[in-house]
Amino acid sequence: MSVAARMVAFAEPLGSSSHRSLALFGLSDADPLPMDSLDEVVETVAATPGLLGVVPIETVLEGELASTLDRIVASWVYVVGEAVLAEPIRAFAAEATTVPQVVVSHPAILALAAGWISRIGAQPRHALSTHHACVEVASGEPGLVALAPPEVGYQAELVVLEDAVTSIPEVRTRYALIGHELPPPTGDDRSRLVVVPRADVVGVLAEITQVLASHGVNLTSIVSRPTGHGDEHYFLLGARGHVAEPHLEAACSELERRGHGLRVLGSYPRWRGVEVVAPEPVVVAHRVPGARASA
């Protein structure tokens, strides 16, 4: 294994959620390489053979992070794995008798807890990460409370003041592991394909999906993104299966024969844990007033 292969780059400080996500990929023992931006992570991985990187590509708050996916598409790296980090948020203090006056955490966490912070009459304070927030609270400043996942708060030797502080049960983020070599098929995989249509004509998406369907490819997602060249766009497709499997390989070959540009963005074992969507009550559909019921 090369030196680079024992390192994983990410765009947040040590102790951040990106850092914690390494465990989901079995990379707890890898050397963490924190960087200043997602662009720096992608560029560094692309330029460094053997280096891996972790980048967030979907959150429960923002959905798919299109700009991050665009950056990966524009680079010479593959998506070689995906995982979802799901963590509840708790209020932590240095002492169980602490009366909250200032609540410190990452800005996104503070936004989720805005209602609770308002109800207790405290003031929010931004931190670089939940880890930094807990370190700040552990310093002993009176009235200071951190919002953080349990693992982070307990590592800082803090005590829980309250469990239910955010507007959703868990903060969930999908992370992509990027690198240079696709893993082999496992029999339960997912692939991401970038398809640039041969022309901007009516029915071109239907043609692409029909080709895939004719080869037994099960699509799981379709996203249209601009290429940055006039009105041109590309489709980012999610599909079940590995690109080395005959049915998906044949479908890709036919798309190229028909003149569509194609790039394999990733092929990796399917994530079998929780998904990004937060648990919600079942939504019961309401019939539009005056609409006729179908026979």
Secondary structure string (H, E, C) spanning 134-201: HHHHHCCCCCEEEEECHHHHHHCCCEEEECCCCCCCCEEEEEEEEECCCCCCCCCEEEEEEEECCCCC
Q: Please report whether residue 220 resides in a domain.
A: yes
**Contact call for residues 151 and 20 (beta carbons, < 8 A):** yes
pLDDT of residue 285: 53
Q: What is the DSSP code (8-state) at residue 5?
A: G
Q: Which two tokens stand for residue 150?
A: 């349990």
Through-space distance between the first and last CA atoms of the chain, rounded to whole angstroms: 64
Q: Please report whether residue 190 resides in a domain.
A: yes
The number of angstroms, rounded, from the C-alpha of 54 to the middle of its chain's C-alpha atoms is: 9
Q: Please report whether residue 290 resides in a domain.
A: no
pLDDT of residue 15: 86
Q: Answer yes or no: do 206 and 269 share one domain.
A: yes
pLDDT digits (tens, 9 = 90+) for 107-131: 999 999 999 999 999 999 999 889 9
Q: Answer yes or no: do 53 and 177 share one domain.
A: yes
Q: Domain of 13: which CATH number?
A: 3.40.190.10
pTM: 0.86
pLDDT of residue 163: 94
Q: Please report whether residue 175 resides in a domain.
A: yes
- Sign (positive or negative) of CA dihedral 85, 91, 93, 97: negative
pLDDT of residue 155: 92
Distances (CA, A) of 192 to 127, 219, 246, 262, 265: 35, 10, 16, 11, 5
Q: Which two tokens stand for residue 58?
A: 């979907």
Q: How far apart are CA 63 and CA 50, in angstroms?
A: 30
**What residue has token string 């370190």?**
135
Per-residue pLDDT of the chain (295 residues; tens, 9 = 90+): 344 558 999 998 888 899 999 999 999 999 999 999 999 999 999 999 999 999 999 998 888 888 899 999 999 999 999 999 999 999 999 999 999 999 999 999 999 999 999 999 999 999 988 999 999 999 989 999 999 999 999 999 999 999 999 999 999 999 999 999 999 999 999 999 999 999 988 999 999 999 999 999 999 999 999 987 777 899 999 999 999 999 999 999 999 999 999 999 999 999 999 999 754 544 555 555 554 544 4
Longest dimension (CA), the chain: 70
- Domain extent for 131: 89-167
pLDDT of residue 280: 53
Total count of domains within the chain: 3
Which H or E element spans position 20? helix 17-20
**What residue has token string 């939940």?**
130
Q: Please report whether residue 38 resides in a domain.
A: yes
Q: Answer yes or no: do 73 and 125 share one domain.
A: no
pLDDT of residue 206: 96
Q: What is the DSSP code (8-state) at residue 242?
A: -
What pairing do the DSSP bridges indicate for beta strands 52-59 and 63-64? Answer: antiparallel
**Contact call for residues 84 and 146 (beta carbons, < 8 A):** no
